[in-house]
């Protein structure tokens, strides 16, 4: 096979043949440049430690410190030329540092490896993303809290199987998402505590013979402690998997509410109106107001789920310690983090701007025999019936109302007594939706007073 034929097989992009393909598949600078700030922070901490332990002279350490700041400034201002030939962010920074300060740059890599360097950089980056996610979750919780406080006593239907079940309050429904997001926040916080150990100083896999101070670098970078096993430290990506797991559960919650917004904003429900900021029109149907932002959140969640599965598949077959497969850890996490933060921001905007249609909510709350359970409970309390018998009596009355095309409160007392003679006029005191929600005073229930108490508790907690 001629060289020309070989090059054609590789395609125009890889005109140089296999060498160009190897460079393309081996390089990570196209995506890991996002960790530039973390890489430089780790290098500055490492250089300061090397000087403190006498491994590096103070003058070299000072040159490295100032040189790294120069490199960081170039990157942040867009004046840094990234090179694919230098493979990754670590080598790009080190090469430019040498151009800036000369020989001292070559001493920076003493007592460390790219293995512990990338493990440290990636932990720092993921830790930042966990902090950002928690801030985003808190902002969204506050938006839900405002909705809950405004509508603590607005009645609406509660659903099971998307069928009318029992009346609840708008505030109670909003608070359900505050609770979900609270668990999401706690998962990120818990994962952050667990991952907050520094791999720096683990070197390639076995540690180093230099008299380094790992506690010093751990403290400088905001870690709680250094990792306890160098093999584990350079090969561990549990922290990234935990981030993706937490992100997936949080994203699932966002998708559930996005689905409710799609349903609620439809002409069939008209429970909420989305602001123009988060809706679009149709190119041919002028009456349409499409909940595109909610739909896009619902779709983007799949990318976060996919990233979680993809990284699991990368890691599942790797022996200790480091393998080049692990270069494929970052793009998945970067994409998931971008989409989670975008979804959180968009959902916060939508929740803050949406307007509940109180009239339609109330009308729907009283439909579908939503107070049937209240009737059954009354039969138990007032007449002492076993619940199963009360359930049967209530079912019979529901059937009667359905046949007549009316709701339970529209049945007459005589109609009810024809099913069970012991029923009194007192039954009508529990059949209205307002009475129903007001009676649900158990802790965590839908009664307006309970909702207001939960809103107050969460507002204090988020301060």
Q: Which one of the listed residues 59, 73, 186, 282 is annotated catalytic?
A: 282
Paired residues of 132 in beta bridges? none
* Contact call for residues 438 and 447 (beta carbons, < 8 A): yes
DSSP H stretches of helix in 236-329 = 238-264, 292-315
How do beta strands 225-226 and 355-356 pair?
unpaired
Residue 308: CB partners within 8 Å, gap ≥ 6? 241, 244, 245, 247, 248, 336
* Contact call for residues 104 and 64 (beta carbons, < 8 A): yes
Paired residues of 225 in beta bridges? 197
* Contact call for residues 305 and 248 (beta carbons, < 8 A): yes
| Secondary structure (DSSP) of 244-262 | HHHHHHHHHHHHHHHHHHH
Considering only CA atoms, which of 134, 254, 119, 253 is closest in space to residue 192? 134
- Determine which helix (DSSP H) or strand (DSSP E) holds 12, and give its type and residue range: none
Q: CA of 315: how far to CAs of 167, 264, 401, in Å?
A: 48, 41, 60
- Determine which helix (DSSP H) or strand (DSSP E) holds 447, and give its type and residue range: none
Kindly report the backbone phi and psi dihedral angles of residue 167, in degrees, each rounded to the nearest multiple of 5, phi listed first. -70, 140
Active-site residue flag, 185:
no
Q: What is the DSSP letter of 290?
A: B
Active-site residue flag, 282:
yes
Q: Residue 198 and residue 233: Cα distance in Å, rounded?
A: 8
Considering only CA atoms, which of 169, 56, 134 is closest in space to residue 438? 169
Q: What is the DSSP letter of 440?
A: -
115 exposed, middle or buried (CB, 10 Å; 0-12, 13-18, 19+)?
buried
CB count within 10 Å of CB 128 equals 14
Q: Which one of the listed residues 79, 161, 283, 442 is annotated catalytic?
A: 161
CB count within 10 Å of CB 12 equals 7
Cα dihedral angle (42, 108, 324, 300), rounded to 10 degrees? 30
* Contact call for residues 369 and 403 (beta carbons, < 8 A): no
As annotated, the active-site residues are 161, 282
């Amino acid at each position: 096979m001629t060289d020309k034929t070989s090059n054609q097989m590789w395609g125009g992009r890889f005109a140089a043949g296999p060498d160009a393909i190897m460079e393309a598949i081996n390089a990570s600078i196209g995506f890991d440049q996002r960790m530039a700030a973390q890489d430089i922070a780790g290098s500055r901490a490492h250089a300061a430690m090397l000087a403190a332990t006498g491994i590096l002279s103070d003058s070299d350490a000072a040159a490295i410190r100032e040189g790294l700041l120069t490199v960081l400034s170039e990157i942040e201002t867009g004046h840094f030329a990234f090179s694919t030939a230098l493979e990754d962010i670590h080598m790009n920074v080190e090469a430019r540092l040498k151009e800036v300060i000369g020989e001292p740059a070559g001493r920076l890599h003493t007592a460390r490896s790219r293995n512990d360097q990338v493990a440290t950089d990636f932990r720092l980056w993921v830790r930042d993303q966990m902090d950002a996610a928690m801030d985003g979750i808190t902002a969204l919780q506050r938006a839900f809290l405002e909705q809950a406080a405004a509508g603590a006593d607005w009645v609406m239907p509660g659903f099971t199987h998307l069928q009318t079940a029992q009346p609840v309050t708008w505030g109670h429904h909003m608070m359900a998402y505050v609770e979900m997001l609270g668990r999401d926040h706690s998962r990120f916080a818990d994962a952050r505590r667990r991952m907050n150990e520094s791999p720096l100083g683990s070197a390639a896999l076995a540690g180093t013979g230099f008299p380094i101070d790992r506690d010093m670098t751990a403290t400088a970078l905001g870690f709680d402690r250094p990792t306890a096993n160098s093999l584990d430290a350079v090969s561990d990506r549990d922290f990234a998997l935990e981030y993706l797991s937490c992100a997936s559960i949080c994203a699932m919650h966002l998708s559930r509410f996005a689905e409710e917004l799609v349903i609620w904003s439809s002409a069939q429900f008209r429970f909420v109106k989305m602001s123009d900021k988060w809706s679009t029109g149709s190119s041919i149907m002028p009456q349409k107001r499409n909940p595109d932002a909610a739909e896009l959140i619902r779709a983007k969640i799949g990318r976060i789920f996919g990233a979680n599965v993809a990284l699991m598949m990368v890691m599942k077959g790797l022996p200790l310690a480091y393998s080049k497969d692990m270069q494929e850890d970052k793009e998945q996490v970067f994409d998931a983090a971008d989409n989670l933060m975008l979804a959180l921001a968009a959902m916060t905007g939508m929740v803050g701007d949406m307007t509940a249609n109180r009239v339609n909510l109330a009308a729907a709350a009283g439909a579908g025999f939503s107070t049937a359970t209240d009737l059954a409970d009354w039969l138990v309390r007032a007449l002492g019936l076993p619940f199963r018998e009360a359930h049967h009596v209530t079912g019979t009355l529901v059937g009667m109302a359905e046949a007549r095309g009316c709701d339970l409160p529209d049945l007459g007392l005589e109609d009810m007594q024809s099913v069970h003679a012991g029923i009194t006029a007192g039954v009508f005191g529990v059949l209205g939706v307002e009475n129903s929600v007001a009676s649900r005073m158990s802790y965590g229930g839908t009664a307006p007073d309970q909702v207001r108490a939960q809103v107050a508790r969460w507002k204090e907690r988020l301060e």
